Amino acid sequence: MVKVNDNYLKLPGSYLFSTIARKVNAYAAAHPDKRIIRLGIGDVTQPLAPAIISALHTAVDEMADAATFRGYAPDLGYEFLRSAIAENDYKARGCGIEADEIFVSDGAKCDSGNIQEIFSVDNKIAVCDPVYPVYVDTNVMAGRAGSYDPATETWSDVIYMPCTADTDFAPMLPKETPDLIYLCFPNNPTGSAVTKSRLQEWVDYANKVGAVIIYDAAYEAYISEEGIPHSIYECEGARTCAIELHSFSKNAGFTGVRLGYTVVPKELKVGDVSLHALWARRHGTKYNGAPYIVQRAGEAVYSKEGKEQLKKQVAYYMNNAAYILEGLKSAGYTVSGGVNAPYIWLKAPNGMTSWEFFDDLLENANVVGTPGSGFGPSGETYFRLTAFGSYENTVEAIERIKKL
Ligand SMILES: Cc1ncc(COP(=O)(O)O)c(C=O)c1O
């Protein structure tokens, strides 16, 4: 008789955002007169930039003409997009990444979940705590996480690297040696960033112990300070130990359009096995390419007009971030993030737990945020607000919180 993959059965309860949605829907149903402001989920709200809309329209029209119609896209991405990425995201920053080391996909969530497939289930993973939950859950599904302890909310075979106020919300090198290390900077959920010299320590460590770093750069466009790396390949030696994930969701508003890419350098090898070759095989076998129309929209992100328009869009969100950061600080909250990332990480006041503060904010300010404990045990007593709302809503939410 058929058996299910019982690793799925080990996954605890409902996903963080479904619990939030359930609570918010229940509150809204009981209080239809209240206007709830959502600063919880990390989804963008601004419309696509004109340069992107124009590229989409042109590509749609091409599909209507037999002479320019396109069918299946190349599995690994169209050359026009891969070259634009290599030039703009890498060569312009002095990183020697070539177009054929870039694999275009439908987003960083899928890639961050799928990448573990090319590694043995015997590998030990290390994750930041708190963490973007996809890294852990996909390793649970693969059978790499061991057993779950509901008391500590941790998995027996996962190495957790606490990111606390004492470490500026960055991980320290783990005592136990991992095989796969997930890093995400600028960070979701804490909004923290690391300097190039701190990231270099991780690259040196990974090369020394023979580990691979999976570096999620989804929020790179939000970096505003000097000395913060936009890519792990700015560090020396990263080509032999790091895979980098990128998304078009946060820099260009593609959360509903879907586009991302993963970089696997050709020098990245385990023994004499090329990870580039394994990922190419996986991608080519299981994926039929991001849509042509969407890849043309991605190309427009790198056009002169696209860059100018998106710079303004990111600045719009970061203006919200600054408003949240300053507003909460002036109200006496302990706050961080929001400078190189669209996330603000605050300590729940008066000794409240993350979920107690969630309920307090929902009921008394009608503002929705995300409880830090949903991202891992070290997130307990913290809370995440996003800068992705409209400016008007952001201002109103902060004014309401100040009055609590
Ligand atoms: C750290 C991180 N990686 C990846 C993603 C998902 O990106 P995408 O929309 O490209 O799938 C998110 C979305 O919130 C994220 O926070």
Structure tokens at 24: 């918010």
- Residue 369 sits in the same domain as residue 340: yes
In a domain, 2, yes or no: no
Q: Which of 132, 135, 246, 340 to mutate to test the pocket of ligand 1 (most atoms within 8 A of CB)?
A: 132
Nearest CA to ligand 1 atom 10: 107
Structure tokens at 299: 């190309």
Contact assessment for residue 327 and residue 346, using Cβ atoms and an 8 Å cutoff? no
Which ligand 1 atom lies nearest to the CA of residue 187? 1
50: amino acid identity, one letter = P
Inter-CA distances, 362 with 43, 92, 275, 334, 387, Å: 19, 45, 46, 20, 17
Ligand 1 near 262 CB (within 6 A): no
pLDDT at site 41: 85
Max Cα–Cα distance, the chain, nearest Å: 66
Q: Which of 15, 112, 183, 251 to mutate to test the pocket of ligand 1 (most atoms within 8 A of CB)?
A: 112
Structure tokens at 362: 């929902």
Nearest CA to ligand 1 atom 5: 109
pLDDT at site 18: 85
Ligand 1 near 257 CB (within 6 A): no
pLDDT at site 279: 98
188: amino acid identity, one letter = N
Q: How far apart are CA 216 and CA 210, in angstroms?
A: 19
- Residue 66 sits in the same domain as residue 94: yes
- Residue 187 sits in the same domain as residue 197: yes
Ligand 1 near 200 CB (within 6 A): no
b/e map of 100-128 (b: 16 or more CB within 10 Å)?
A: ebbbbbbbbbbbbbbbbebbeeebbbbbb
b/e map of 257-269 (b: 16 or more CB within 10 Å)?
A: bbbbbbbbbeebe
Q: How far apart are CA 43 and CA 25, in angstroms?
A: 18
What's the total number of domains in the chain? 2
- Residue 147 sits in the same domain as residue 289: yes
The domain that contains 137 carries what CATH number? Answer: 3.40.640.10
Where are the extended beta strands (E) located within 201-354?
A: 212-216, 242-247, 260-263, 269-270, 273-274, 335-337, 343-347
> Ligand 1 centre from 260 Cα, in Å?
9
The residues with which 274 forms a beta bridge, in sequence order, are: 269
Domain boundary among 254, 278, 303: 303
Ligand 1 near 368 CB (within 6 A): no
Crossing angle of helices 292-301/304-330, nearest 10°? 70
- Residue 290 sits in the same domain as residue 312: no
Ligand 1 near 218 CB (within 6 A): yes
Q: Is 142 helix (H, G, I), strand (E, B) or coil?
A: helix
The domain that contains 21 carries what CATH number? Answer: 3.90.1150.10
Distance of CA 203 to the CA centre of its chain: 20
Report the relative pairing of strands 125-129 and 180-184 from DSSP bridges: parallel
Task: Write down the H helix ranges in 180-222.
Answer: 196-209
- Residue 199 sits in the same domain as residue 310: no
Grouped pLDDT means (10 residues each) for the chain, 404 residues = 96 82 96 96 95 98 98 94 98 96 98 98 98 96 96 96 97 98 98 98 98 98 97 98 98 98 98 97 94 98 98 98 98 98 98 98 98 96 98 98 95
- Residue 211 sits in the same domain as residue 336: no
> Ligand 1 centre from 132 Cα, in Å?
8
Residue 327: φ, ψ to 5°: -60, -45
In a domain, 177, yes or no: yes
Q: Among 371, 367, 366, which Cα is nearest to 354's?
A: 371
pLDDT in tens, 190-230: 999 999 999 999 999 999 999 999 999 999 999 999 999 99
The residues with which 367 forms a beta bridge, in sequence order, are: 37
Q: Among 296, 347, 391, 282, which Cα is nearest to 45's?
A: 391
In a domain, 157, yes or no: yes
Instruction: Provide CB contacts within 8 A for 59, sequence distance 6+.
Output: 292, 293, 296, 297
Ligand 1 near 244 CB (within 6 A): no
- Residue 274 sits in the same domain as residue 149: yes
- Residue 292 sits in the same domain as residue 145: yes
297: amino acid identity, one letter = A
- Residue 329 sits in the same domain as residue 193: no
Structure tokens at 46: 């601004």
Instruction: Provide CB contacts within 8 A for 394, sequence distance 6+.
Output: 39, 320, 323, 324, 387
pLDDT at site 14: 65
- Residue 80 sits in the same domain as residue 221: yes
Taking the alpha carbons of 161, 165, 166, 167 in that order, is the dihedral positive or negative? Answer: positive
pLDDT in tens, 256-275: 999 999 999 999 999 999 99
Contact assessment for residue 279 and residue 264, using Cβ atoms and an 8 Å cutoff? yes
Domain boundary among 303, 334, 353: 303
> Ligand 1 centre from 109 Cα, in Å?
5
Q: ∠29-33-36 over CA atoms, to 5°?
A: 75
Residue 86: φ, ψ to 5°: -60, -45
- Residue 320 sits in the same domain as residue 391: yes
In a domain, 1, yes or no: no
DSSP string computed for 282-302: HHHHH-----HHHHHHHHHHT
Note down the domain range covering 214: 53-303
Ligand 1 near 107 CB (within 6 A): yes
Domain boundary among 303, 327, 349: 303
> Ligand 1 centre from 8 Cα, in Å?
22
78: amino acid identity, one letter = Y
Q: Among 62, 106, 76, 48, which Cα is nearest to 293's?
A: 62
Structure tokens at 287: 């994926």
Q: How far apart are CA 190 and CA 78, in angstroms?
A: 34
Nearest CA to ligand 1 atom 12: 109
